[in-house]
């Protein structure tokens, strides 16, 4: 992206695009601050020049949340663990730290996050600012594990936020969609590293939906994938165990995680894009290719997996008691339509949390995520899915494709006005604004 190096800015107008390739932007300049002070100066200068500012991580959002024609901040030089407080059970990481690096560094220290999403290529600030989550009965999103953060505001000040210091900002900025300022550091709750035993098992759609609440109640982390055009699902149950580590054998891990989930999956999606009529047959074969397996390892090696097949995604958070009904409606819609869907549909859960605009704010939540292979027309499928999700009071993931606006979001988020009032106070001139935020938060 441009030619900027740490501590410098680039005025070369080079197009930026996200991981999926569905969002592009051409900023006036790119800055890569090597210190918080340099970032503060970049924000002040942008405001003086009448330019808007957006920080961008690794581009894993599918929305234009980070797109700007002003100043694009690349925080990659602001990376690494700043401090570990074992007595408090916290770690402070600079905003540009990639989750993979954080997880590996914590493991070397004998520590771990309690829960995490299924990919770890994002920066810690990008992941938390958009609401990245895994699945959990009792443990919530990555943002819900934040105990403190630093934020550069529109006037270039550095705010330190926690439950005790600037608590009203802390309540919102843990998941701020980039609207309140640029996060420079995050303090996470961590715990001594532990083992998880994963049990993956194929199951029919009818059985997993009939037993959903039972599986949810009996497992610390339960999720499943339904393969459209079939009655087949794959379930995954992760629970703490005493160990010892018993990871998948090298051959079986390669078959499941590389061949089936990446290599062969890439090939069949390319075939499906070229010849959509083949997709239902491919889905039936693919959904039967996965076999049951059980393995044990440290958390990040169980929660996360490589995702090299590029796609576009929509995900909605529903009240947990509505998710099975919504999923059954989605299956009926796909079956009745001419849609050809080559990606499985993912279902996960989260407990209620207290973050102002978290998708799980104030309610027990279940998520349904729909995907389409890159460069494949996704609008008809996503429109049909979104119609179902919104009928059930769904809240769209802030970093994934959706068409909702501030009017809708104010209805499904009881604390929406609290967030926008805080934004008016911290950024009255919309230094951190862009078209996406105008749509989802209003002017």
Please report which confidence band the pLDDT of residue 269 belongs to, taking 50, 70 and 90 as the band edges.
low
Per-chain mean pLDDT for the chain? 92
Residue among 59, 75, 57 at smallest CA distance from 6:
75
User: How confident is the model over 12-50, as pLDDT tens digits?
Assistant: 678 999 999 999 999 999 999 999 999 999 999 999 999
- Residue 324 to residue 208: CA distance in whole angstroms: 9
Burial class (CB in 10 A: 0-12, 13-18, 19+), 358: buried
User: How confident is the model over 157-172, as pLDDT tens digits?
Assistant: 999 999 999 999 999 9
Task: Please tell me the predicted confidence (pLDDT) of residue 443.
Answer: 85
Q: Of the ranges 100-104, 227-231, 265-269, 323-327, which one carries the lowest mean pLDDT score?
A: 265-269
Contacts of 293 (CB under 8 A, 6+ apart): 199, 200, 248, 252, 256
Task: Please tell me the predicted confidence (pLDDT) of residue 154.
Answer: 97
Task: Please tell me the predicted confidence (pLDDT) of residue 267.
Answer: 65
Q: Give me the phi and psi of 412, to 5 degrees please.
A: -95, -10
Task: Please tell me the predicted confidence (pLDDT) of residue 2.
Answer: 46
Q: What is the largest CA-CA distance in the chain?
A: 60
User: How confident is the model over 169-182, as pLDDT tens digits?
Assistant: 999 999 999 999 99
Contacts of 159 (CB under 8 A, 6+ apart): 150, 151, 152, 153, 166, 169, 181
Please report which confidence band the pLDDT of residue 3 belongs to, taking 50, 70 and 90 as the band edges.
very low
- Residue 180 to residue 412: CA distance in whole angstroms: 21
Task: Please tell me the predicted confidence (pLDDT) of residue 310.
Answer: 85
- Residue 50 to residue 267: CA distance in whole angstroms: 47
Tokens 């809240």 appear where? 395
User: How confident is the model over 179-224, as pLDDT tens digits?
Assistant: 999 999 999 999 999 999 999 999 999 999 999 999 999 999 999 9
Q: Convert the chain into a string of H (helix), E (strand) and C (coil).
A: CCCCCCCEEECCCCCEECCCCCCEECCCEEEECCCHHHHHHHHHHHHHCCCCEEECCCCCCCCCCCCCCCEEECHHHCCCEEEEECCCCEEEEECCCEHHHHHHHHHHCCEECCCCCCCCCCEHHHHHHHCCCCCCCCCCCCHHHEEEEEEECCCCCEEEECCCCCHHHHHHHCCCCCCCCEEEEEEEECEECCEEEEEEEEEEHHHHHHCHHHHHHHCCEEEEEECCCCCEEEEEEEEEECCCCECCCHHHHHHHHHHHHHHHHHHHHHHHHHCHHHHHHHHHHHHHHCCCEEEEECHHHHHCCCCCCCEEEEEEEEEHHHHHHHHHHHHHHHHHCCCCCCCCEEEEEECCECCCCCCCECCCEEEEEEEEECCCCCHHHHHHHHHHHHHCCCEECCCCCCCCCHHHHHHHCCCHHHHHHHHHHHCCCCCCCCHHHHHHHCC
Please report which confidence band the pLDDT of residue 1 belongs to, taking 50, 70 and 90 as the band edges.
very low
Report, as an integer, the average pLDDT of 367-376: 92
Q: Of the ranges 134-143, 172-181, 258-267, 328-337, which one carries the lowest mean pLDDT score?
A: 258-267
Residue 279 has pLDDT above 80, yes or no: no
Q: Which two tokens stand for residue 70?
A: 């002003």
User: How confident is the model over 311-343, as pLDDT tens digits?
Assistant: 899 999 999 999 999 999 999 999 999 899 988
Residue 102 has pLDDT above 80, yes or no: yes
Residue 408 has pLDDT above 70, yes or no: yes
């Amino acid at each position: 992206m441009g030619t900027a190096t740490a501590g410098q800015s680039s005025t070369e107008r080079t197009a930026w695009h996200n991981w999926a390739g569905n969002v592009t932007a051409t900023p006036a300049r790119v800055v890569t601050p090597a210190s918080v002070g340099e970032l503060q100066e970049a924000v002040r200068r942008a405001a003086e020049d009448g330019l808007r500012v957006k920080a961008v991580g690794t581009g894993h959002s599918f929305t234009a949340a980070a797109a700007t024609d002003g100043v694009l901040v690349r925080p990659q030089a602001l990376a690494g663990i700043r401090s570990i407080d074992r007595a408090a059970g916290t770690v402070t990481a600079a905003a540009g730290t990639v989750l993979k690096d954080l997880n590996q560094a914590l493991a070397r220290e004998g520590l771990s996050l309690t829960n995490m999403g299924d990919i770890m290529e994002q920066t810690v600030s990008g992941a938390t600012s958009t609401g990245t989550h895994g699945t959990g009965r009792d443990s919530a999103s990555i943002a819900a594990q934040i105990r403190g953060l630093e934020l550069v505001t529109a006037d270039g000040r550095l705010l330190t936020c926690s439950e005790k210091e600037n608590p009203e900002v802390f309540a919102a900025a843990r998941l701020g969609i980039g609207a309140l300022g640029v996060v420079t550091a995050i303090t996470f709750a961590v715990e001594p590293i532990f083992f998880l035993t994963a049990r993956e098992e194929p199951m029919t759609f009818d059985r997993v939906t009939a037993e959903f609440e039972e599986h949810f109640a009996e497992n610390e982390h339960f999720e499943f994938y339904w393969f459209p055009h079939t009655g087949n699902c794959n379930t995954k149950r992760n629970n703490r165990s005493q160990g010892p580590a018993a990871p998948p054998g090298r051959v079986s891990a390669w078959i499941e995680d590389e061949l089936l989930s990446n290599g062969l999956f890439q090939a069949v999606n390319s075939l499906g894009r070229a010849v959509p009529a083949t997709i239902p047959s491919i889905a039936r074969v693919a959904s039967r290719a996965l076999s049951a397996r059980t393995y044990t390892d440290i958390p990040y090696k169980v929660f996360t997996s490589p995702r090299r097949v590029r796609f576009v995604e929509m995900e909605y958070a529903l009240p947990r008691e509505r998710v099975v009904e919504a999923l059954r409606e989605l299956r009926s819609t796909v079956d009745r339509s001419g849609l050809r869907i080559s990606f499985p549909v993912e279902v996960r859960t989260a407990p209620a949390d207290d973050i102002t605009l978290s998708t799980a704010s104030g309610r027990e939540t279940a998520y349904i995520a729909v995907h389409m292979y890159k460069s494949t027309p996704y609008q008809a499928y996503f429109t049909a899915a979104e119609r179902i999700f919104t009928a059930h009071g769904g809240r769209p993931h802030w970093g994934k494709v959706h068409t909702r606006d501030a009017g809708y979001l104010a209805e499904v988020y009881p604390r929406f006005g609290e967030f926008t009032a805080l934004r008016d106070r911290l950024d009255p001139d919309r230094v951190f604004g862009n078209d996406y935020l105008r749509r989802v938060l209003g002017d």
